[in-house]
Structure 1
Amino acid sequence: MLTVLCESPGTLAIHQRPKPQRQAGEVLLRVRRVGVCGTDLHIFTGHQPYLAYPRVMGHELSGVVEEADPDSGLQPGDTVYAMPYLSCGRCRACRQGKSNCCVQMQVLGVHRDGAFTEYLCLPRHFVGKADGLTLDQAAMVEFLAVGAHAVRRGEVGAGQRVLVVGAGPIGLGAMLFAALRGATVVALDSRQDRLEVARAHAGISAAVPLGDGDEAELARLTEGEFFDVVFDATGNPQAMERGFRFIAHGGRYVLLSIVQGDIRFSDPEFHKREATLLSSRNATMEDFDTVIAAMRNGQVPHAALATHRLTLATLPERFPDLLDPRQGVIKALVEC
Structure 2
Amino acid sequence: MKTLVCTKPGEFAYEEREKPVLQKGQAIIKIKRIGICGTDLHAFEGTQPFFEYPRILGHELSGELVAFDDAPGFQLGESVSFIPYFNCGTCIACRSGLPNCCANIKVCGVHVNGGFVEYLSVPSSSLLHGEGLSYDELSLVEPLAIGAHGVRRTGLREGEFVLVVGAGPIGMGVAEFARIAGGNVIVMDINDNRLAFCKEKLAVHETINPLREDALALLKKITNGDMPTVVVDATGNLKAINSAFQYMAHGARYVLVGLQKGEICFSHPEFHKREATLMSSRNATRQDFEHVMESMKKGLVKPATYITHRVKFDKVKEQFESWLKPETGVIKAIVEL
Q: Which TM class, normalised by the smaller chain length?
A: over 0.9
Q: How far is 1:173 from its partner?
A: 0.5
- 2:9 touches 2:43 (CA, 8 Å); kept in 1? yes
CA deviation vs aligned residue, 1:285-321 (integer Å, no higher than 9, x gap): 0000110000010111211101111111111110001
CA distance in 1, matches of 2:262, 2:162: 27
Q: Is the 8 A contact 1:33 1:62 kept in 2?
A: yes
Q: Distance in 2 between matches of 1:49 and 1:38?
A: 12
Q: Do the aligned residues in 2 keep the contact of 1:185 with 1:204 (CA within 8 Å)?
A: yes
- Counterpart position of 2:137: 137
Question: CA shift at 1:73, angstroms?
Answer: 2.0
Distance 2:150 2:280 in 1: 8
In structure 2, what is the Cα distance between the partners aligned to 1:36 and 1:185? 26
2:311 corresponding residue in structure 1: 310
Match of 2:198 in 1: 198
Q: Any gaps of 5 or more consecutive residues in structure 1?
A: none
Unaligned 5+ residue runs, structure 2? Answer: none
For 1:283 and 1:52, how far apart are their aligned partners in 2?
Answer: 23
1:63 aligned counterpart, secondary structure = strand
- How does the TM-score come out when normalised to structure 2? 0.98
TM-score, with normalisation over the residues of structure 1?
A: 0.98
The whole-number CA distance in structure 1 between the counterparts of 2:300 and 2:165 is 22
Map of 2:114 onto structure 1: 114
What are the superposed Cα offsets for residues 206-249 of structure 1, whole Å, 9 maximum, x if unpaired?
11112142221122111221101000111110100000001100
Post-superposition Cα deviations, 1:233-271, rounded to whole Å, max 9, x if no partner, equal: 111101000000011001100001111121011000001
> For residues 205-244 of structure 1, what are the structure 2 equivalents within 5 Å?
205-212=205-212, 213-244=214-245
SS in 2 for 1:250: coil
Residue 174 of structure 1 is matched in structure 2 by: 174
Measured in 2, the distance between the counterparts of 1:201 and 1:268 equals 39
Q: How many Å separate the matches in 2 of 1:190 and 1:277?
A: 24
Residues 70 and 124 in structure 2, CA contact (< 8 A), matched pair in contact too: no
- Contact 2:164/2:186 (<8 A) preserved: yes
SS at match of 2:61: strand
The residue number in structure 1 matching 2:285 is 284
Shift of 1:24: 2.1
Kept after mapping to 1: 8 A contact 2:7/2:13: yes
Q: State how far apart, in whole Å, the 1-side matches of 2:71 and 2:236 are.
A: 43
Residue of structure 2 in register with 1:60 after alignment: 60
1:329 paired residue number: 330
C-alpha distance in 1, partners of 2:190/2:150? 22
Task: Output aligned runs, 1:122-133, within 5 Å.
Answer: 122-133=122-133
* Shift >4 Å, 4+ stretches: none
The correspondence of residues 291-302 of structure 1 with structure 2, limited to 5 A, is 291-302=292-303
C-alpha distance in 1 between matches for 2:228 and 2:295: 25
Tell me, in whole angstroms, the C-alpha distance in 2 between the residues paired with 1:43 and 1:217.
Answer: 35
Query: CA offsets per residue over residues 110-165 of structure 1, 9 Å max, x none?
Result: 00000001000111101111122100010000000000000000011111000000
CA contact (8 A) 1:175 1:203 kept: no
Q: Distance in 1 between matches of 2:270 and 2:291?
A: 35
How many residue pairs get aligned? The number is 336
Say if 1:72 and 1:124, in contact at 8 Å, map to a contact too: no
What is the one-letter code of the residue matched to 1:250? G
d(CA) in 1 for partners of 2:131 and 2:147? Answer: 22
CA contact (8 A) 2:26 2:70 kept: no
State the SS of the aligned residue for 2:300.
Answer: coil
- What residue number does 2:17 align with? 17
Check the 8 A contact 1:101/1:281 in 2, yes or no.
Answer: yes
> Against the structure 1 CA distance between its residues 186 and 70, is the aligned structure 2 distance closer, same or farther, given a 3 Å change threshold?
closer
Whether the aligned pair in 2 keeps the contact of 1:256 and 1:281 (CA below 8 Å) is yes
Q: State the distance in 2 between where 1:318 and 1:11 align.
A: 12
CA contact (8 A) 2:71 2:125 kept: no
CA distance in 1, matches of 2:75, 2:18: 23
SS at match of 1:316: helix
- The 8 Å contact of residues 91 and 103 in structure 1, kept in 2 or not, is answered as yes
Compute the RMSD of aligned alpha carbons. 1.0
Secondary structure of 1:136's match?
helix
User: Is the CA contact (8 Å cut-off) linking 1:201 and 1:301 kept in structure 2?
Assistant: no
Spell out, residue by residue over 1:65-111, the C-alpha distance to the aligned partner (whole angstroms, 9 max, x if none): 11123763221210001100000111110011100000000000000
Instruction: Give the 3-state SS of the residue equivalent to 1:223 in structure 2.
Output: coil
